[in-house]
Chains A and B, each alone.
Chain A
Amino acid sequence: MTSMRVVVDLTKCEGYAQCAFLAPEAFRMVGDEALMFDPAPPDELQEKVLRAAAACPVQALQVDMADLPTPPPTATVSADGDDRLRHEGRIVIVGASLAGLKAAEQLRAEGFTGKLTMIGDEPEEPYDRPPLSKQVQTGWAASADTTLPRRRDIAADWKLGVAATGLDLEHNFVTLADGQHVGFDRLLIATGVRARPWFVPEEAGLDGVFTIRTRADATGLRERLLAKPRRVLVIGSGFTGSEMASVCVELGIPVTVAEAGPAPLAGALGGVIGRIAADIMREHGVDLRVNTRVDSLQGEDGRLRRALLSDGTTLDVDVAVVALGGIRNVEWLQGSNLAVGMWGVACDAGCRAFDANGLVTDDVFVAGDVARQPQPMFGYQFLAMEHWGNSVTQAQVAAHNMISGKTDRWPHLEVSAFWSLQFGNNIKSVGVPVIADQIAITQGSVDKRQFVAAYGYKGRVVGAVAWNQGKWLDFYEKLIEQAAPFPPPYDMTNPPADPTPVPAEFPAMTYPGRDATVVVTGHDPSERRATLVRGRR
């Protein structure tokens, strides 16, 4: 008998605290609105957890199917859908994480009764990653306990612990590391990203140097933090790095953050917000070094001992957490002639993959962190949204389109959203701040760390960030959807001291697609074909 499994969709969560009231052993509020949850509460809490789940005003709390009537399929017979595919087709999902699982559930929910195969290179069933850098490191949850709950029986053939190594689109099969071929009528690519390792392999191999992406990473890091290291060095101060610094502060471990750019979170939220994040870090005693690189990590007897920084200092450290973002898992697709590269797998708004010619495929779909999709609301740019909520909605759209006819396809037009919990602050964002040229505080007080800021691009609202004020973000989501003018020209309650827009201070955008090298052959339009050339990154 396993314990219950729980996950909270923190994209939806608005911090109403109903769960924390009704099942305080399993749900805990941090500050006014941030939530921490136990992903595997013990069985004796089942009644309370079900009470908490039912009470959630935004229905963000998901538990296993236990005690829930299985909802009937919501299948609508599509006018031009392929009934044979729906009932007897073979669907293969490569990537057994959040996006893969959500796609599988959606397929079954829509009445897909054919053969479903789930392929994952990790040996575990799909698990939730956000807790790995939060409650797992503070010891409130074990990394082994973050298995995602099942909303319905997906009746899949699981192939776990075996990576996909190739894709043959002429004969429609996936090759696995053990040599198996798995044939499909529809394929979903949901292989996500892996942590970017430290650049120098010998240094990355030192005992004490960690990345944090998988359960195994999290377990190893947790053990090392428990051993009370002299100091932890966090390399990079995006969301994961900042959350790790926050964890160290909570555990009372001295921590240095080395950030190559001008401020923490500046890549995702810009320099104005970055300076606020920097102030908060320093107020909490973090040794934050901005515009500072780590020149080398040095060890003795294979164990990390020191770090040399570009500011000329040497730090005695026992643990380094490398938080430099991710690398998209696309290597297995080289040779498939899909449009893949370091930018991920390009697809249309309906999640159908593009081949190297830029032609859309009909049977290969993409979802999750690995997908790069045009964003009609944001200048039709192709962007990869590496956010939890994006994985869920994109997987649902991909799954629906996989078994629907062309008149019934859905575009993925969700306004992206993400959250982070650090130093007791609940930071939530909607839209695509990175494309903004300006930012304006619209509500609240920066000094009190309770405010909302809107991001604008050429006079339109394209994003917002809320600092401990998450209940307002629905409003900003609508402004984004409606292409509302920036700055928002309305009086609001709780006006800020200074609403004047200022430059958002994002680092210069890089367009990864420009690094692609394509060779075109043939003369006549009927014979011209593009081939991606693998080469320098």
Chain B
Amino acid sequence: MTEASLYDQILDFANRANPWPLYEKLRSQPVWQESDGTFVVSTYREIYALMHDPRLSSDMTNLLPQFADRVPPAEGPHSFITTDPPRHDVLRRLAMRQFGPPHRPDLIDKLTPALSAIVAGLIDKIAEKQEVDLVDEVAYPFPVAVICHLLGVPPEDEPKFSAWVNPIVNALARPTPEQAQARDDARQHMSNYMFELAQRRRTEPGDDMISGYVTDDGPDGRLEGGDLFATLMLLLIAGHETTVNLITNGWLTLQRHPDVLERLRTEPRFAIRLVEELLRYEPSVHILPFRTAVADIEIGDTTIRKGHPIAVMLASGNRDPECIPHADRFDPDRADNVHLSFAGGIHYCFGAPLARLEAQIALTQLAKRLHNPRLVADPPPYRPSPVLRGPIHLPIAYESILPS
């Protein structure tokens, strides 16, 4: 038995807290072929090129049969994240119609005061304590409240979702049979719930996104049946899991760079560029694990074979010194920050503007209100997933909470 490959070491939970040295080794060769047939792409230029390459596919039915066990079973319709054009373009446009421009251009902008109020309320709640888990108290409940509000999920139903989302996320890369079963059960529960909710909104619509999906027809028609549920599940999961990591990774990084934390406390608008650098330096999504190719792709002195699985190592690309000056330095003053953390091309993160605002608001308020904060554990314990990477808990201590 040979030594575990670099990719296997990256997937190994033991390396979750610090995968960066492994990424650096990985980048010595832009594309690796794993013994199981997977191609692993880790350098900035090659990742950027792949994401704009029309031979790259997100539709896992394009995998060769021998790799079929590598992905969630294709039961029912897919959301835009797992489809290719032209279907992708229609599904994404239908989903976007209720979320952003051109049809609802100011939905997210108008949400800004509500976002601030939610964070302020969450911080108020920990005023009596001096030690908390930042994940449980702020980083998790904040984006969950926001996505549920946007979609029109009643707040009292929020806790159900955590129970459903976790098994789905935990099964993203190479699930065990038990993990796969838990994932499938969770999807079933969620799908049933969304079906009932959509029925209710059809008869009593509000100004939430689900109401829009079930009542407001655009030029592409309407999101219906399985397409609607696939989209809603995607938005809920992405809304739950990625911003949590961004806020948590962000706070962890700020505590490790006290000078930067101090600037966030005092410099107006500092959060804007800070969050872009946090996205680059500690992204929420480390790997795009589900890609394949509809034709051979010659890239980085390698030929990625048609129908093979491709893992795109976004976090590694963000620290590629060939393209990013002083890539390992956390530098919020960085100009032209063109990180890969929201991917690129047609699959660019749907919720990126919301995630940015949420992180800017949450981190600024935390910086201004936590008096003398410090980490209780460094590194903190991490979530299992190598794909959506972040601390599962972030215990912090502070002297007091300042008024907002």
Q: B-contacting residues of A (Cβ < 8 Å)?
A: 14, 16-18, 20-24, 28-32, 47-48, 50-51, 54-55, 57-59, 67-69, 71, 442-445, 448, 450, 452, 471-475, 478, 490-494
Contact = CB atoms under 8 A, between A and B. Distances in A.
Given A443-B54, A474-B49, A493-B294, A55 B336 contact: no
Given A24-B101, A30-B102, A54-B273, 13 more contacts: A21-B108, A22-B108, A24-B106, A24-B109, A28-B105, A32-B89, A51-B360, A69-B333, A444-B85, A474-B49, A493-B294, A494-B84, A494-B85
A471 B273 contact: no
Given A471-B346, A493-B54, A494-B85, A20 B269 contact: no
B403 interface: no
Interface in B300-359: 306, 333, 335-338, 342, 344-346, 348, 352-354, 356-357
B353 A448 contact: no
B57 interface: yes
Given A20-B100, A29-B101, A474-B49, A57 B348 contact: yes
Contacts of B352: 16, 18, 55
Decide if the interface of chain A is mainly helix, strand, loop or mixed. mixed
B109 A22 contact: yes
14 contacts: A16-B348, A16-B352, A21-B108, A24-B106, A57-B344, A474-B48, A490-B295, A491-B294, A492-B54, A492-B295, A493-B54, A493-B59, A494-B84, A494-B85
Nearest to B344: A57
B361 to A, nearest CB: 11
A59 B336 contact: yes
A67 B295 contact: no
Contacts of B89: 32, 450
Contacts of A69: 333
Contacts of B276: 54-55
Contact of A475 (B54, B85, B108, B348): B54
B27 interface: no
Contacts of B52: 471-475
Nearest to A151: B335
A48 B105 CA distance: 14
Q: Which of A22, A69, A450 has the most CB of B within 10 A?
A: A22
B389 interface: no
A21 B54 contact: no
Decide if the interface of chain B is mainly helix, strand, loop or mixed. loop
B101 A20 contact: yes
Contacts of B378: none
Q: How large is the interface on B (under 10, 10 to 19, 20 to 34, 35 or more residues)?
A: 35 or more
Contacts of A22: 108-109, 353, 356-357
Nearest to B85: A494
Interface in B126-184: none
Contacts of A448: 86
Contact of A51 (B57, B59, B272, B338): B272
Interface in B352-404: 352-354, 356-357, 360
A474 to B, nearest CB: 4
B201 interface: no
A67 to B, nearest CB: 7
Contact of B337 (A59, A473, A492): A59
Contacts of B102: 20, 28-32
A54 B337 contact: yes
Nearest to B345: A471
A472 B344 CA distance: 11
A57 B86 contact: no
Contacts of A24: 101, 105-106, 109
Contacts of B125: none
A472 to B, nearest CB: 6
A22 B269 CA distance: 14
